[in-house]
Amino acid sequence: MSKRIGILTSGGDCPGLNAVIRGAVKSCDQLGYDCIGFLKGYEGLYDPVQYVQLTPKSTKGILNQGGTILGSTNKGRFAAVKGIDDRVEIEHSLIEGVQATVRQLGIDGLICVGGDGSLAIAQQFHENGIPVVGVPKTIDNDLQATAFTFGFDSAIECATDALDRLHTTAASHERIMVLEVMGRHAGWIALHSGIAGGGDVILIPEIPWSFEHVCHKILHRESQGKKFTLVVVAEGAELPDGGMVGQHAEGQQVKLGGIGKTVTDEIERRLHREARLCVLGHLQRGGKPTTFDRVLATQFGAHAVRLIVEERFGEMICSRPPEMVSVPILDAVHKVRTVDPQGPAVQAARALGISFGDRPADEASAGVFARNETAVDAYQPSELLDSTAAAVEVALAE
């Protein structure tokens, strides 16, 4: 009997999921494994079991398609996350049902493609003896163990394109344009698209901000003859009073969204200027994956198969350029990777005069590249010569 690998896509959809599936299927075919795909995420694993046979022929042409041919869900019986720090155990009867499915179908390894919540489910499977490996998926790029998640680059491309388009209409009508982007509790999408799209103000969860400083930046631009302003705000950015804008439902994660309107309304109220809001929403999760995401997702799919071949269950494949390595799933979940407020991307943005709403506009770049006297220089010729001479002396003495 041929060895068999299963694969499923769970959580929110994003560009690149089909590339992962294709990468895994083609690798299975080359290595002599059968591959089946479970439908509707984890729900397809049990009662009723729903799967399809996957072959290079059946997955032909899906590399550049958005979404997932297997379907996905972030709700249902296998939901293991109620909030960023509130995780629950899957019912034991469901675990037993999945164990029976894996046994009856002769699955040697199950590839679970998903974000933080979905991988938390995979970890519970692993703890109960189900042979799983993980593939990180989220447009938010907020998983700690991997440098990049596929879908992130595609989301940035979408948001940057929106800013390019908003720039021309904002300039034509001398308006303030507010763009709300996704990202949940991390500001990666807002930061990268804001820099790439020429944003003037970027509001992210990692940097506290105030309406006073946002408005000061707008007035400062006007004093320089710049009659329009582009404001990029991450959906998870906290308000100055510490609150978050979104819908709260019992037993579920907060459904973030709406802060863009709050920012737009407050700017209009304070400055008596015309402001307009654009909320990208699910546009960031749809459409074709970028070239970068296609390559990354394909590598993830192929190397996930490698983990199964090597029987390295309970691990997640991750990108640490130039290597493709793996870590225990447990080390990948429960840890959100957020933007470093002192990191190089934020420094570069400040050097350009971009405001993060945390200081007056005329101080936006103050102290950005101030020398840290305790830091070690990257290249110190005198010390290098001293160490080389010492090494020569030791070698001669031997």
CB within 8 Å of 118: residues ≥ 6 apart: 10, 11, 41, 42, 74, 112, 137
Is 140 among the catalytic positions? yes
Three-state DSSP state, 106:
coil
CB within 8 Å of 280: residues ≥ 6 apart: 158, 159, 162, 179, 180, 181, 182
CB atoms within 10 A of CB 91: 11
Q: Per the residue annotation, which of 140, 142, 153, 200 is the catalytic one?
A: 140
Classify residue 372 by its DSSP letter.
-
Classify residue 143 by its DSSP letter.
B
Residue 105 Cα distances to 58, 96, 170, angstroms: 20, 14, 58
| CA dist., res. 300 & res. 295, Å (int) | 9
What does 313-348 look like in DSSP terms, one character per residue? TTEEEEEETTEEEEEEHHHHSS-B----TTSHHHHH
Contact (Cβ atoms closer than 8 angstroms) between residue 162 and residue 280: yes
Phi, psi of 69 (to 5 degrees): -70, -15
User: Measuring CA to CA, which residue among 37, 66, 218 is closest to residue 139?
Assistant: 66
Helices (H), the chain: 17-31, 92-105, 116-127, 152-173, 188-196, 211-223, 259-271, 291-309, 329-332, 344-351, 381-397
3-state helix, strand, coil in the chain (%, to 5): 40, 20, 40
| CA dist., res. 69 & res. 329, Å (int) | 25
Q: What is the dihedral of CA 260, 261, 266, 271, to 10 degrees?
A: 90
| CA dist., res. 168 & res. 212, Å (int) | 26
Q: Which residues are catalytic?
A: 140
